[in-house]
Structure 1
Amino acid sequence: MGRWWVVALSEAVHGDKALAVTCEGEQLAVFRDGKGAVFALEDRCPHRRVPLSPGPVKAGGLQCPYHGWTFDGATGLCNDIPNLRRDERVPARYAARAFPAAEANGFIHVWRGAGTPAAVLPGASYRAAGREQTGSAVANIAFEQYLDVMLDGPECLLSFPGVHITDFFLGDPRRDGEHLVLDRGAVWKGKGNGPAFVRDHSLWVRTRVPLRGGDIRVELLSADEEPLVTIFIAASENRRGTTSLVWRGFRHATAAPLSWRWRMARAIGRAPFAIFPHIDGAAAAALEVAPSRDRRLAKTDARTPAERVVPVQERCVV
C-alpha cells in the first residue's frame, strides 16, 4: 500500500522553478502551475534521463532543460516537443512518472506507492498557535535510525533553549494508532541536582514517532502537561543512508515563560527549538536501545489493533 509523505514546505515551492526533493530514496521535481496547484514528477526526463527540476515551469507543465520537452504535472504526459510539427502527435509513451500531490497546513505531500490516495494528510494534524519556526535539511543518519533515536535519545536530534532532556522515562511507550508515544523528564538547565530518577521533573518531552511513514511530533510540556512548544518533523529516506527533514514548530502563545533563560531567548529572538542536521554519531551510538525496540516490534506486528488487545486473563501471572 502507498502513503502520503511530506516532502517540502509550502513556501519553498513557488514561481517558475521546480524544487528538487528526495523521498524514499527517489528524486522528485515538485512545482506549481499558474493557479498555484502543486504537482510532482519523477526528476528524470524519459528522453535522456536528465533531471527535470532545473527546467522552467511553462503553461503546459514542467519543461526539460535539455531538449525542451514539456510534461503535464497531473499525468506526466509529454504535451510538447519543440522540433515536432504542430500537426504531429506526441506518442503517449513519452511520459514522466507523475505522483499525486496535495497541500495542507504549510506542507506539501506526495503519494508514494500503490492504491488510491488516502483522504487524510499527515500535515493535517498540525495547527500553528504561535509564531512559527520552519526549516529543512538532510541529516547524516539513516531514516529508520532517525526514528529510533527520536525515541531513545531525542537530545541527539534536537534541543530546546535552556532545557536539559533527561534519560528518565515517565512511563512505558504507548501505542496511539500507527504511532508510538513516549514521555520523558526534562529540567531547566542548572536546576535539579542528582540522578534523573530522583529529580522533580518540571518539564516533559513527549515524542510521537510513526511505526510507518515519517510524521513525527515533539512537544515540550510543563509538569501539568501544558504545551509550551510543538514541533512537527517530517522525515523520509534520502539517498546514501541519509534522511530528508522538513519541519514547522512554534512556542505556544499562552505558555508562561518559566525561566530567565526562556525570557532571554525570547527577548533576543532566539528560536524556541533547534533541529540538528549534523548528528553526533558517537552520542547516538552510546544510546541504550530501549523504546525503539518496542517500535520495531510493533511495526512487524501485522495484527489489527483489536487483535493486539490481550484478554485480561492472559495478562495475569499466577
Structure 2
Amino acid sequence: MTSGQWWIVALSEQLAPGKTLAVVCDGVQVALFRSAAGEAFALEDRCPHRRVLLSPGQVRPGGLQCPYHGWTFDGASGRCTDIPNLRRDEKIPPAAARAYPVAELNGFIHVHTGAGDMRGTLPGAAYRAAGREFTGSAVAAIAFPDYLDVMLDGPECLLDFPGVTITDFFIGDPRRDGGHLVLDRGAVWKGRGPGPAFVRDHPLLVRTRVPLAGGDVVVELLDASEQPLVTLLVAASANRRGTTSLVWRGFAHARSHPGPPGWRLRRLAGAAPFTVRADIDGRAIAALEAAPSRERRDQLEDVA
C-alpha cells in the first residue's frame, strides 16, 4: 500500500464478532478481525515471526493469534502481546505486525493506508440507504485502473439495471466534482420502441461518479427529472495479479418513479434492482471506445 487514504475493504456484516476475514486492499493482503466486543481491526496478513498468513488464526482477548506458532498481536498497535512458549516472567520481544487504522460507516469497513492525512472523508459517507439494500462482494478479472475507466466508457459492461438499456449516448461532457469525475448517459426502458437517436429525449439517465484517487464509485439510475430510482456504491481496489476487489451496497428508492409493469413487478417480488457483474466480458470491454476515461487520465496527470 502506497497511497495514504481510506479504502472500503468489506461490508460490516461480513465480519462477525470473534471472526477474521482475509481481504486485499491496494494490492496488499490484510487480515481483518473483530473482537468479541465488536470492534474491527486490520493487520497486514503476514506474521512478522515466520511470515505465514495471520487471517486463518484465532481471535483472542489480546488480539489475533497466529495459527503457526501462536504469537498474538494487538489489533490497534500490531504489538505482540503473547508468545505461548515463554514463561510468564520472560519479556516478550518487540515484534509487531503492521496495523492499519479502521473505521466503519454506513455498513462499510474502511482501512487507511500509507502515511497520509487520516482526516479525509470516508468513502462510505457518500452512501445513505433509503430502501431495502442489496449487497455483495467479488473479485473481477480486470485491472483496477481499467475497471475505473470502463465505468466511464461503458458501465453496461460492469453492471446492469434489469429492464433498462444503458445507451452509448453521453449527455454532456465529463465534469469534475471534488475528487470525482461525473458523467451522465442516456438510458431507456427495455421494449419501449426503437433505439434512441441523438435527437431523442431519454426517459432515464445513468450517472457515474468515478474517483480520481481511491475506489468509491457511485452509480445512480435517474428519471428524466433527475429523481433517483436506484443508487449503489461499488467500492473497488487493486487485488493481486491484475484483478480487482469489489464490495457494493445499493437500493431502489422507495418513492421513485414507478416505471413500466415489469419494473414494478420486480420491485414487488423483492428482486435486486441492479446487478454488479463479477464475470466480465473481455471482448465487450476491448470493443469500447476510450473516450471519457481519457479525461480521467488527463485529470490524474494534472493532479500528479
Please give the range of the TM-score, normalised by the shorter of the 2 chains: over 0.9
Match of 2:171 in 1: 170
Q: Distance in 1 between matches of 2:120 and 2:291?
A: 34
Judge conservation of contact 2:17–2:37 (CA < 8 Å) in 1: no
Q: Which consecutive unaligned segments of at least 5 residues does structure 1 have? A: 304-318
Match of 2:299 in 1: 298
Q: Distance in 1 between matches of 2:206 and 2:151?
A: 11
Shift of 1:188: 0.3
Q: Distance in 2 between matches of 1:250 and 1:302?
A: 33
Q: Distance in 1 between matches of 2:176 and 2:108?
A: 25
- Residue among 24, 27, 33 paired with 1:25: 27
2:274 is matched by which residue type in structure 1? F
Q: Distance in 2 between matches of 1:56 and 1:116?
A: 32
| Runs of 4+ off more than 3 Å | none
Match of 1:88 in 2: 90
Judge conservation of contact 1:3–1:118 (CA < 8 Å) in 2: no
31-40 vs 145-154, greater mean Cα deviation: 31-40
What are the equivalent positions in structure 2 for 1:47-86 lying under 5 Å apart? 47-86=49-88
SS at match of 1:206: strand
Return closer, same or farther for 1:44/1:171 CA change in 2, 3 Å cut-off. same
Judge conservation of contact 2:137–2:246 (CA < 8 Å) in 1: yes
Judge conservation of contact 1:192–1:200 (CA < 8 Å) in 2: no
Shift of 1:288: 0.4
Q: Distance in 1 between matches of 2:289 and 2:68?
A: 50
Judge conservation of contact 2:31–2:43 (CA < 8 Å) in 1: yes
1:249 is matched by which residue type in structure 2? G
Shift of 1:267: 2.8
Q: Percentage identity across aligned positions?
A: 70
Match of 1:181 in 2: 182
Match of 2:162 in 1: 161
SS at match of 1:52: coil
Match of 1:39 in 2: 41
Match of 1:250 in 2: 251
Q: Distance in 1 between matches of 2:195 and 2:123?
A: 40
| Per-residue deviation, residues 124-148 of structure 1 (Å, max 9, x unmatched) | 1210000000000001100000000
Shift of 1:274: 0.3
SS at match of 2:198: helix
Return closer, same or farther for 1:83/1:222 CA change in 2, 3 Å cut-off. same
2:133 is matched by which residue type in structure 1? E
Q: Distance in 1 between matches of 2:200 and 2:285?
A: 24
Question: Are residue 210 (structure 1) and residue 232 (structure 2) matched?
Answer: no
Match of 1:118 in 2: 119
Q: Distance in 1 between matches of 2:19 and 2:12?
A: 14
SS at match of 2:263: helix
1:291 is matched by which residue type in structure 2? P
Match of 2:236 in 1: 235
Question: Are residue 129 (structure 1) and residue 143 (structure 2) matched?
Answer: no
Match of 1:224 in 2: 225
SS at match of 1:145: helix
Return closer, same or farther for 1:159/1:194 CA change in 2, 3 Å cut-off. closer
| Per-residue deviation, residues 100-123 of structure 1 (Å, max 9, x unmatched) | 111101000000111341242110
| Per-residue deviation, residues 46-79 of structure 1 (Å, max 9, x unmatched) | 1111110011100000000111110000000111
Judge conservation of contact 2:159–2:276 (CA < 8 Å) in 1: yes
1:174 is matched by which residue type in structure 2? R
Q: Distance in 1 between matches of 2:155 and 2:171?
A: 15
Shift of 1:269: 2.2
Judge conservation of contact 2:181–2:211 (CA < 8 Å) in 1: yes
Shift of 1:302: 2.8
Q: Distance in 2 between matches of 1:284 and 1:31?
A: 36
222-231 vs 254-263, greater mean Cα deviation: 254-263
2:258 is matched by which residue type in structure 1? P
Shift of 1:194: 4.0
1:30 is matched by which residue type in structure 2? L
- Aligned residue-pair number: 302
Shift of 1:278: 0.8
Match of 2:278 in 1: 277
Q: Distance in 2 between matches of 1:302 and 1:158?
A: 29
Judge conservation of contact 2:138–2:246 (CA < 8 Å) in 1: yes
SS at match of 1:301: helix
Please, what TM-score do these two structures have when normalized by structure 2?
A: 0.97
